[in-house]
Amino acid sequence: MNTGAEAVETALKLCRKWAYEVKGLAENEAEIVVCENNFHGRTTTIISFSNDPVARKNFGPFTNGFIKIAYDDLDALEETFKNNKNIAGFMVEPIQGEAGVYVPKEGYLAGVKALCNKYNVLFIADEVQTGIARTGKLVCVDHEDAKPDILILGKAISGGVYPVSAVLANNDIMNVIQPGNHGSTFGGNPVAAAVAIAALEVVKDENLAENAEELGQLFRAEMSKFIETSSIATLVRGKGLLNAVLINDTEDSDTAWNICMKLRDNGLLAKPTHGNIIRFAPPLVMTKEQLLDCVSIISKTFKEFE
């Protein structure tokens, strides 16, 4: 497909069709489990299971067929599977990016995989933000060797230069889609495919996953040192080169935004979320020297807000 949201929609359709034709659920009864504070896109169906008022307000009526549970909670997931015979799939971000780079407890993704296998539910990993070397592995689920049944990719699959996204699954799932069931005018076009292949080759040849792992550890170590003596920054978290710093203010504040504006003035671009979180997702090709320059700019800027 072209965009991340289209890839998510494709995965949802694929999961539902599999549920009716392979798992044997009654037509129109399938439900898909998702997590609170998710971000999977902004189409009508996707915002139907969002709890972000900015994405939802005045866009209803919404699409049924989704159950929301807490993120990083295997007990809640199993309870939902146990008490509902119509579950087709569980869709989750391996790290919740838009929510503020929330990294689940170690073992969560492996636990998700085990529960999905136990209850014959498809494990759908949305790696539009976390995929293609961003978190220090080619895809984030590789940190726990938790292979999903359906994998959603976008953004970095083209190196960020061309619209292309993808949904991956084995034949026992993918083959429920027949000619005419699904499509897109520009989906799978030759230029997009060529760009994606070239981008993946660069990721492999230049060891960008390994670079992200190494530099991410360095970033968190350096920021942790700064936080020890800071009154404005309280926490750094993330994997690879997907990280966030928690700002000492409330979610309804504009402090993170103001800091990001000052970071821009000082030569670094970052994005705020929820008023008190700043996300840092630098280019995967950056060097150690460049990363330390970034840490210097961040530290200097934060000190202006102490």
Tell me, yes or no, if 39 is annotated catalytic.
Answer: yes
Tell me, yes or no, if 172 is annotated catalytic.
Answer: no
DSSP the chain: --SHHHHHHHHHHHHHHHIIIII-PPTT--EEEEETT-----SHHHHHT---HHHHTT--S----EEEE-TT-HHHHHHHHHT-TTEEEEEE-SSBTTTT-BPPPTTHHHHHHHHHHHTT-EEEEE-TTTTTTTTSSSSGGGGGT---SEEEE-GGGGTTSS---EEEE-HHHHTT--TTSS--SSTT-HHHHHHHHHHHHHHHHTTHHHHHHHHHHHHHHHHHHHHHT-SSEEEEEEETTEEEEEESS-TT-SHHHHHHHHHHHTT---EEETTTEEEE---TT--HHHHHHHHHHHHHHHHTT-
- Which residue out of 155, 239, 280, 302 is catalytically annotated? 155
Tell me, yes or no, if 137 is annotated catalytic.
Answer: no
- Which residue out of 39, 81, 123, 219 is catalytically annotated? 39
- Which residue out of 49, 123, 126, 280 is catalytically annotated? 126
Catalytic residues: 39, 126, 155
